[in-house]
Structure 1
Amino acid sequence: GFTVWRLPSGDRVAVYTHRGAEPPGWLRRLLEEVYSRLPGPGLVEVHVYPDTRAALEAVAALAAEAGAAAPVGFEAAMHEAWSGLPRIHLAARDLEALGRDTGEAMAGHEAVHAALHGSLEYYLLPPWADSPEAYYIAATTVKDLEAHLEAERRGLGWIPRRLARYWGPPPRGCPHSAEELLDTLRSAALHLALHGEPPETGCPRLHLPLQALHRLALGPERPWTRRRLLYQAVLETHEGLQGNA
C-alpha cells in the first residue's frame, strides 16, 4: 500500500507498506513531534515490513541496486539514503515486540537520521579512505553521535535515554571482530552524548578511537566534518583486529 502524510511542519512522509504490514499507530504522531523540533527532510520515505526478515530482504535488494554495502544486521528500524532521498525502514512486528517506549525510540532515532543524513554524501566512500570497512565503522559511529547530540539539543532527549535503557551499558573488554568494534563504538557514542565522556571499557586498544570520538563530541565543528579523525583511529584498531585474527 501507499499513502502520503502531510505533517504540520510542512514535511511529507511517503508511507509504503509491504506484505500486508501496517505502520504502528503512534508513528505519525512521533514524526510530527520530531520534525516540529528540528528541521525536517522535506520528503522522507517510510517503508513498513511485517518483520525483520522481510525488511532485510528488501534492504539488501536496494543496496545491491545502489551498489552499496548491505547492513550486517537489522534491529526493527534503520535509515539510508542510497537513492539520494532519506528512507526509513521499519519491521512492524519487531517494533511491537520491543514495547512502545523502545519502539518509538528506535523509529525516532531513524527519523532524526533522516533529517541530518538524508542525502547521498553520507553514504559515499571518500577518496582518502583506503579501508571501506574501517570507514563504514567510523562513519556509522559519527552519524549516530550526531543524531544523539541533536536529539539532546532539540528537546528530544527521551530518544537516546530510552535507547540507553534498552541497550544497557557499553560492553567492557576488547572487541574481537569488526562487528563487535562497531557495536562498541556506537554504544560509546550514545554514552558520550548522554554523559559527556567516553565509557570505561577496560580495553587499551580502544583508547584512540574513544578519545577521537570524545574530541568530535566536544569540538565546535560538526562531528561529520572531522570524521577522518575517527577513521584514522578506527583504522589502527581495525588493523589490530585483523592482525590478531
Structure 2
Amino acid sequence: MAEQPLNDEQFVYTFHSELLPSQVEGFMRLQADMDIAARDFEGYRGQELSCQENQADGLNHCTVKIRFTSLEYCLAWLDSSVRRNLLFHAEDAIGYHYRASVETQSFEQWIAVRSGQHPATWKVNLLVWLSLYPCVMILTRIGQTTLGRLPLPLNMLISTAITIAVTGWLLVPWLSRLYGGWLLNRSMRWNWVHGTTIVGFLLLFLVLFSALSMPSSLDQANLQLHRC
C-alpha cells in the first residue's frame, strides 16, 4: 500500500480488552495481523497498543488505538470482511471475544478538525447520545426475530457494526452540521436552549419507544392469563 499523505484530520477508534495471562500472546499476534491487514485499507495511519497487568484481578488490561485519516475510512475497515475473519479465527484460537468502545474524544477531535475549533466535550457527548439511543432501540426492536436468535457474541458484533456505521456515517455528521453553530458557541443562553432541545428529543424518543413496547408487554400478559 502506498504511504498515506499526512494531514491534520484523523479519527481514532479505541478498543479496551481484559485478558487472561494465557490470552495475551495470542492477542498480540492478532493485533499484529490486524495491523498488516489494515495497511491495505485507504486512510490507515497505524495503531498504538499498550497492556498493563492489574494486580487486583490478575487480568491484563490492553488498549488499542487505531488511526485513520477520516471517520469514513475507519468505518470501512471496521465493517470489512477481512477484519471479521481475523476476529473469528482469534475467537476460536484463544477464546477471546473482541469488545470495543468509541471514545467520545474521537468524535470531538474529528468535529474540531472539520470546524477548526474545539467544541465542548459535553456537547459532543450529547450529540453522540442523541445518535446512539434511537439507533440502538430501533435495532433491538427490529432485530428480535433475526439478530436476537444469534449467539450473543455474534449478535453484539453485528449489532455494534451496524450501530457504529449508522451513527458515524449518518447521524453524528448530520447532527454536527445541524448543531454546528451551537457546538462552537459559548453563550450560556444558547447552551441552555440547544442543550434542552437535545434532552427534549431524548425524552420524546423515550416516550415513543415506551409506547411501542406496550403492545408486546400486553401480549405477554394475555398469554400468561390464557395459560392460567
Task: Answer yes or no: same fold by TM over 0.5.
Answer: no
Normalising by structure 2, report the TM-score.
Answer: 0.31
TM (norm. structure 1) is 0.29
Taking CA–CA contacts closer than 8 Å with sequence separation of 6 or more, which of the two structures ends up with the larger relative contact order? 2
Larger Rg: 2
